[in-house]
Amino acid sequence: MNKKLMAAAVAGALAMPGLALAQSSVTIGGFFKVGIEDIKIDSMNASRTTAAGTTNSSEIRMADNSSRLIFGVSEDLGGGLSAIAQLDNRFSPDNGNIAASGNTWVGLKSTSAGAFTMGRHDLHYGQNASDMGAGASALKATTISLMDYVNVATKSAAGVVTVAPSAAIANTSRTPNSLKWQSPNWGGFDIIAAYSTSPTGTDGDLGSTVRKGYGYNINPHFTAENWGLGYSYWSAKPDGSMADQLGQNAFGYFKWSGFKIGVSYNQSKLKGNGLTPGSQVDVAKRDAWSIPLSWNTGPHTIYAHYTKANKDKVQDQAGISDTSAAMAAVAYTYSLSKRTQVGVTYAQIRNEANAAYNFFTDTGGDLSSAGMPVRAGEDPKLLALIMYHAF
């Protein structure tokens, strides 16, 4: 009798409106990706000299490589329409931190019209032909290090050059406060269009005497069986700030017999220093290019790229020379199973005297260390051993 009562109670509870979530489909996935890194800075800038006259120029550390836990939610609304949501938690196995700082959004998906989502999205940055950073290859060694950053150097009236850490384009992370449309795939062609009400995260239009901020991204792709092309345009005007950004990425690749070769081109521009709309001046403008390669056979994969950030045109006109940088990286990964890999990566950046480009994500926080921001003329090197497990 008790068993019958229990069954009736459970059946009644599941029928209650408050438990209608049982009709939604929830998936759980993600990956662990952690490495042991040996970081070294060659040609250390004299400004690092301490009172004791010595400064550490290398470090061995444990570092997360953007591990994540992702919850995907979908509910069929009928007629080819679904409600969709994603919670993307980034966590650090080495220190235990976790936050929903990844691609986190909610929206609607139509089989004929595509997906409309609101929240945080990866936009513009990382749109290139390189696969470096995938699997057990190091995230820090990606072409993003040069392709989606710009050098910032200024010269005083006395002729003193000051070089700041390289500035990120499109946050080199998720763009907050954004509405994104992902089109259906039309015979290999698709397009992303996105708009952000505040691309740097702080809503500041109300009561601002500066202007209303916004950002947008247009990103079409064409993918065939053995080749692909892509382009991305980015424009951002942060709330309450005159630090404008413009960026363009264009790339293509070709694959055959386990090999993949690509080419990527980037042009990025910063404007600022103005007090009123329309009075901004160019702060930085540079182009960059990259040649990425990869090769896969069975469980073995090799990744490599050579990337060059050319001299900054604005800074060159201001009499600041030596602002270019070059980066080379190579990685080998071995698949122990379909979900588990180990790998080793070597990368280095060579900055000219007035350049301060750094490895992607190596600016402090969970993925780096506090003293890592590169100074003018310094050359960072990376050797990483990484384990990756997807679930």
Instruction: List the beta bridge partners of residue 69.
Output: 30, 89
Residue 266 in any domain: the answer is yes
Residue 18 in any domain: the answer is no
Residue 10 in any domain: the answer is no
Structural domain including 105 reads: 24-390
Q: Give how many domains the chain has, as a whole number.
A: 1
Contact yes or no for 299/314 (Cβ under 8 A):
no
| Sequence-separated (6 or more) residues with CB below 8 Å from residue 19 | 13
How many angstroms separate the CA atoms of 359 and 32, rounded?
21
Pairing of strands 300-309, 325-335: antiparallel
Residue 9 in any domain: the answer is no
Contact yes or no for 291/262 (Cβ under 8 A):
yes
Helical (H) or strand (E) element with 314: helix 313-317
Confidence at residue 7, expressed as pLDDT on a 0 to 100 scale: 42
How many angstroms separate the CA atoms of 245 and 208, rounded?
20
Neighbours of 383 (CB within 10 A): 17
Phi/psi for 383 (5° steps) reads: -130, 120
3-state secondary structure 142-209: CCHHHHCEEEEEEECCCCCEEEEEEEECHHHCEEEEEEEEECCCECCEEEEEEEECCCCCCCCCCCCC
Helix, strand, coil percentages in the chain from 3-state DSSP, rounded to 5: 10, 55, 35
Residue 212 in any domain: the answer is yes
- Measured CA to CA in angstroms, residue 236 lies from 71, 115, 123, 160, 211 at distances of 30, 23, 11, 30, 13
Residue 16 in any domain: the answer is no
pLDDT by position in tens, the chain (length 391): 444 444 444 344 444 444 444 478 999 999 999 999 999 999 888 887 665 666 788 899 999 999 999 999 999 999 999 999 999 999 999 888 899 999 999 999 999 999 999 999 999 999 999 999 999 999 999 999 999 999 999 999 899 999 998 999 999 999 999 999 999 999 999 999 999 999 987 777 787 777 788 999 999 999 999 999 999 999 998 877 778 999 999 999 999 999 999 999 999 999 887 656 566 788 999 999 999 999 999 999 999 999 999 999 999 999 999 999 999 999 999 999 999 999 999 999 999 999 999 999 887 665 666 666 789 999 999 999 999 999 9
* Nearest residue to 382 via CA among 326, 303, 327, 341: 327
Secondary structure (3-state) at 87: strand
Confidence at residue 202, expressed as pLDDT on a 0 to 100 scale: 74
Secondary structure (3-state) at 137: coil
Contact yes or no for 250/264 (Cβ under 8 A):
yes
Secondary structure (3-state) at 278: coil
Residue 226 in any domain: the answer is yes
* Global model pTM greater than 0.85: yes
What letter would DSSP give residue 11?
A: H
How many angstroms separate the CA atoms of 61 and 39, rounded?
8
How many angstroms separate the CA atoms of 316 and 218, rounded?
30
Contact yes or no for 131/260 (Cβ under 8 A):
yes
Secondary structure (3-state) at 315: helix
Sequential DSSP letters for 19-78: GGGGGSEEEEEEEEEEEEEEEEEES--GGG--TTS----EEEEEEE---EEEEEEEEEEE
Contact yes or no for 262/280 (Cβ under 8 A):
no
How many angstroms separate the CA atoms of 97 and 137, rounded?
22
* Nearest residue to 243 via CA among 215, 266, 267, 220: 215
CATH number at residue 312: 2.40.160.10
Residue 252 in any domain: the answer is yes
**Encoding tokens for residue 27?**
């998936």
Angle at 266 between CA 264 and CA 272, to 5 degrees: 170
